[in-house]
């Protein structure tokens, strides 16, 4: 049997992690709004002959990739938050009509199955994200005496090396995860979020985290379906 203290510790960790995820997605969402709004503004001003807007637009080639990768991060961190709140979409026909005890057992079994799938997907997505980042895009390379090198590795370009990317790349390389672009690093959010989702589902299957239907009864949660959750 798991003690109540362990249960509370796990819930505290889970809530703390959700807070961190919440702050991250808040910043990301605001950044997405800001970048897309600036793009629209600059484009329309540039089209009307405003030179600084044209320059700003030219300098914002990173904006579209940022919007794509940012949305990917929002999506998967959001999915992790949805797991925290037990708000995922599910076919809940059987659990809706089954007696309470049976329904709870079914939901726990479903959470266990979903946890295993999440871990398997995590491995698959990790492999795929590394594979998709394996070929270094042209703009991340420099031509050196020794041939083409990544911008962070090319000594000649050291002064111009983007510190953020090189720092992130070095940190991830230290952890044994080779990435060459910001996009590649951002894609790692998918396996990361899937592993957190898997852990949360596992904890729910083991009864360490409450099911939404239990929480709704105790008044600190809401109903099962994600849509119903919004409505409530």
Partner 1 sequence: MGLSIGLLIALLALSGAPLFAVFGAAALLLFARLPATPLSAVANDVFSERFADSPILVTIPLFTLAGVVLAETGASRRLVAVSRALLGWMPGGLAIVCVATSALFTTFTGGSGITIVAVGGLLLPALLEEKYPQRFSLGLVTAGGSLGLLLPPSLPIIIYGVVAHIDIESLFIAAFLPGLVTLAVLSVYCGLSYRANHLRSPPFEARAALVALWAAKWELLLPAALLAGLGFGVLRIHEAAAFTALYVLVIELVVYRELRLRDVPRVIRKCVSLVGAILIVMAAAIGFTAYLIQANIPQLVLESMQTFISSKWTFLLLLNVLLIFVGMLMDIFSAIIVVVPLIAPVAAHFGINPYHLGAVFLLNLEIGYLAPPVGLNLFLCSFRFERPMAEVYRAVAPFIVVLLVCLGIVTYAPGLSTWSSRLVLPLSMQSVAARAAGTHELRQHETSTEARAAPSAMSGVVAPAAGEDLEDLAGAAELRTREPDLAGLGVPSPVPPIVKPNPL
Q: Of 127-166, which residues contact partner 1 (CB under 8 A)?
A: 127-129, 131-132
Applying the rule CB under 8 A, the residues between 26 and 45 that interact with partner 1 are 26, 29-30, 32-33, 35-37, 39-40, 43-44
Applying the rule CB under 8 A, the residues between 196 and 215 that interact with partner 1 are 201
191, 75 contact by CB (below 8 A): no
DSSP element (H, E) containing 148: strand 147-150
CB of 35 to partner 1, least distance (A): 8
Report in angstroms the alpha-carbon separations of 157 from 104, 142, 147, 166, 194: 60, 7, 13, 12, 37
Give the x/- contact pattern for partner 1 in 85-104, rule: CB under 8 A: x-xxxxxxxxxx------x-
Applying the rule CB under 8 A, the residues between 59 and 78 that interact with partner 1 are 61, 64, 67-72, 74-78
Interaction of residue 227 with partner 1, rule CB under 8 A = yes
CB of 26 to partner 1, least distance (A): 4
Stretch that binds partner 1, among 7-15, 54-62, 141-149, 151-159 (CB under 8 A): 54-62
Q: Write the DSSP string, 108-129.
A: HHHHHHHHHHHHHHHHHHHHHH
Query: Which of 46/208 has CB closer to partner 1?
Result: 46
Q: Write the DSSP string, 193-231.
A: HHHHHHHHHHHHHTTSS--HHHHHHHTSS--SSHHHHHH
Query: Which of 149/190 has CB closer to partner 1?
Result: 190
Per-residue tokens: 42: 């600059």
Among 46, 136, 166, 208, binds partner 1 (CB under 8 A): 46
CB of 145 to partner 1, least distance (A): 28
Among 20, 120, 170, 173, binds partner 1 (CB under 8 A): 120
Helices 189-205 + 100-132 axis angle, to 10: 160
Backbone angles phi, psi at 69, to 5 degrees: -70, -35
- If you ran DSSP here, which 8-state letter would residue 62 be given? T
């Amino acid at each position: 049997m798991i003690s109540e203290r362990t249960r509370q510790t796990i819930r505290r960790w889970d809530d703390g992690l959700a807070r961190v995820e919440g702050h991250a997605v808040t910043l990301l969402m605001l950044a997405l709004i800001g970048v897309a709004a600036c793009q629209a503004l600059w484009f329309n001003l540039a089209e009307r002959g405003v030179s600084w807007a044209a320059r700003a637009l030219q300098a914002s080639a990173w904006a579209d990739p940022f919007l794509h990768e940012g949305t990917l991060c929002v999506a998967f961190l959001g999915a992790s938050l949805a797991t925290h709140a037990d708000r995922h979409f599910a076919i809940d026909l059987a659990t809706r009509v089954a007696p309470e005890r049976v329904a709870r057992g079914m939901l726990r079994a479903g959470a266990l199955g979903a946890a295993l799938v999440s871990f398997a997907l995590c491995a698959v997505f990790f492999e795929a994200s590394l594979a998709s980042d394996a070929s270094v895009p042209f703009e991340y390379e420099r031509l050196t005496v020794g041939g083409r090198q990544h911008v962070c590795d090319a000594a000649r370009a050291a002064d111009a090396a983007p510190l953020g990317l090189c720092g992130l790349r070095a940190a991830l390389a230290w952890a044994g995860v080779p990435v060459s672009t910001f996009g590649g690093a951002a894609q790692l959010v998918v396996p990361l979020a899937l592993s957190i989702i898997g852990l949360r589902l596992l904890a729910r299957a083991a009864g360490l985290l409450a099911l939404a239907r239990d929480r709704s009864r105790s008044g600190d949660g809401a109903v099962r379906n994600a849509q119903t959750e919004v409505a409530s």
